[in-house]
Amino acid sequence: MDSYWKTLAVTATASATLLAAANISAAQDKPPVKIGFVTELTGPWSFFGTSCVAGLKFGEEQINSPGKRKIEFVITDNQTSPAQSVAASRSLDVQDKVLALSGPTSSDTGLAVYGYAEQNKVPFVVPVAAFPQLTKPGSRYTFRLEPNAAGWGYAIAKFVEKQKPGGKIAMIYSDYALMRAITAGLKYQAPLSKLQIVADIAFPQGSNDATVQAAQVLAAQPDYVVVIGAGGFDNTITNQLLDIGIKPQQLIHPFGITTQVMNWGKRSVGSYYGTFFDSNLDSLTPEGKTFVKDFIAKYGRPPSYGENFCFVTAHVIREALDKNPEAADDREKFRDAMSKLKTKETTSDIPIEFDKNGARKEYIYFMQMTDVEAKSYKAKQAFYAEWDPEVIPVYTLVK
């Protein structure tokens, strides 16, 4: 009897091994699943595009473990140009026959790819682009990982409401679509949160100096100053506000990436910035800690939320395909797989699920800077908020 069971066990094990090997072989024999990754490798947004690709590469290594059908990201430069983004999308769609598109880190290029994707029914996974209209009602093929910018404004109001009920806020920002969306959300929510906007100063593109406007902000006597400059001007505004006597604890930056935080420097210690991922988060998973460690080892600085979203994009696509293998060769099935996906960020366990328009359940952390060194910084978590994408009328606030 014993020998009968032994024989049966050995036979079952051997069969299972053979079956698994056959499946692995079948998965590996299939051609790779191609994802078109249209991003900013040159042009004014090249820092964000190349940083995104750096994050993606870490993710790509992890998701292509032996036995799984390979996912290949076809990385293409959009030159930070909407027209070039459309041309690249068309080429990836028609010639490379990619399963889905992804990659833009700018709302301008993101909107260009969005138009192509929705019109041509190509699933589009947006890693980093915050303009609300990317998931406007009626969107069917687009899924966005980054919360929309008007919602960030909503979250700032919630943060100030908690810090200083009835507080006064000054806004000083560059007049770009992203900043307009953030301030639209803040201006909408501020009265609902019983906050007062005491200064609203917008700078055109290409501005250099904010000394006079810093003096105007000081004269308005705000409790908090929301600073959103574009590129280098962000740092100029910050420095000039501090020069004129605004305290670091009064400054709120809606977003802070690693290079920004390090450029704000020691004199900004005490100020706040919003983020969706930070190397100092309390809630980093073991995978998140490994990602941070590996990224620092390779690039000499901690990753920001942009790199994280691109890293997570690779994992999200893998998970959607693992749960729905038949979606690997069918765009409609992949769209459906993304639509019903319920997962968590690999790096921080924040839930990921999309609403009917492809907008994600939204969230933000506000960090307070505690120290800055030449190639690193420390910050502590000061506030966390989650909200429904349409908690405020984002799609009518920002057209």
Of the pair 124, 203, the CB lying nearest another protein is at: 203
Nearest to 58 by CA among 256, 343, 297: 297
373 sits near another protein (criterion: CB under 8 A): no
CA atoms within 13 A on the CB side of 107: 18
Are 138 and 357 in contact, with CB atoms under 8 Å apart?
yes
Report the C-alpha gap between 93 and 252 in whole angstroms.
41
Sole binder of another protein in the list 91, 163, 196, 235 (CB under 8 A): 235
Nearest to 244 by CA among 278, 269, 295, 209: 209
Are 215 and 186 in contact, with CB atoms under 8 Å apart?
no
Of the pair 80, 142, the CB lying nearest another protein is at: 80
43 sits near another protein (criterion: CB under 8 A): yes
DSSP 48-117: HHHHHHHHHHHHHHHH--TTS--EEEEEEE-TT-HHHHHHHHHHHHHTS--SEEE---SHHHHHHHHHHH
Which residues are registered as beta bridge partners of 102? 37, 125
- Tokens 């899924």: give the residue: 143
Which residues neighbour 390 within 8 Å (Cβ) at sequence distance 6 or greater? 355, 359
To the nearest whole angstrom, how small is the minimum distance from the Cβ of residue 208 to another protein? 6
Element (H, E) at 238: helix 232-244
Sole binder of another protein in the list 179, 181, 182, 214 (CB under 8 A): 214
Sole binder of another protein in the list 263, 285, 339, 381 (CB under 8 A): 263
Of the pair 92, 237, the CB lying nearest another protein is at: 237
Of the pair 159, 176, the CB lying nearest another protein is at: 176
Report the C-alpha gap between 131 and 150 in whole angstroms.
8
To the nearest whole angstrom, how small is the minimum distance from the Cβ of residue 301 to another protein? 9
Q: How far is CA 254 from the centre of its chain?
A: 13
Of the pair 67, 232, the CB lying nearest another protein is at: 232
67 sits near another protein (criterion: CB under 8 A): no
Report the C-alpha gap between 248 and 161 in whole angstroms.
18
177 sits near another protein (criterion: CB under 8 A): no
To the nearest whole angstrom, how small is the minimum distance from the Cβ of residue 229 to another protein? 9
206 sits near another protein (criterion: CB under 8 A): yes
382 sits near another protein (criterion: CB under 8 A): no
Are 250 and 230 in contact, with CB atoms under 8 Å apart?
no
Total residues binding another protein (CB under 8 A): 41
376 sits near another protein (criterion: CB under 8 A): no
Sole binder of another protein in the list 87, 177, 218, 269 (CB under 8 A): 218
Q: How many CB atoms lie within 10 A of CB 267?
A: 13
DSSP structural state of residue 339 = H
Piece of 206-214, 290-298, 328-336, 340-348 that binds another protein (CB under 8 A): 206-214
204 sits near another protein (criterion: CB under 8 A): yes
249 sits near another protein (criterion: CB under 8 A): no
Piece of 148-156, 204-212, 313-321, 340-348 that binds another protein (CB under 8 A): 204-212
Residue type for 148, please?
N
Report the C-alpha gap between 274 and 364 in whole angstroms.
6
Sole binder of another protein in the list 27, 215, 341, 382 (CB under 8 A): 215
Of the pair 185, 229, the CB lying nearest another protein is at: 229
Sole binder of another protein in the list 23, 166, 243, 293 (CB under 8 A): 243
208 sits near another protein (criterion: CB under 8 A): yes
Site for another protein in 184-203 (CB under 8 A): 201-203
Of the pair 211, 396, the CB lying nearest another protein is at: 211
Report the C-alpha gap between 247 and 270 in whole angstroms.
8
Binding site for another protein (CB under 8 A): 42-44, 46-48, 50, 175, 201-209, 211-216, 218-219, 230-236, 239, 243-245, 257, 259-260, 263, 265
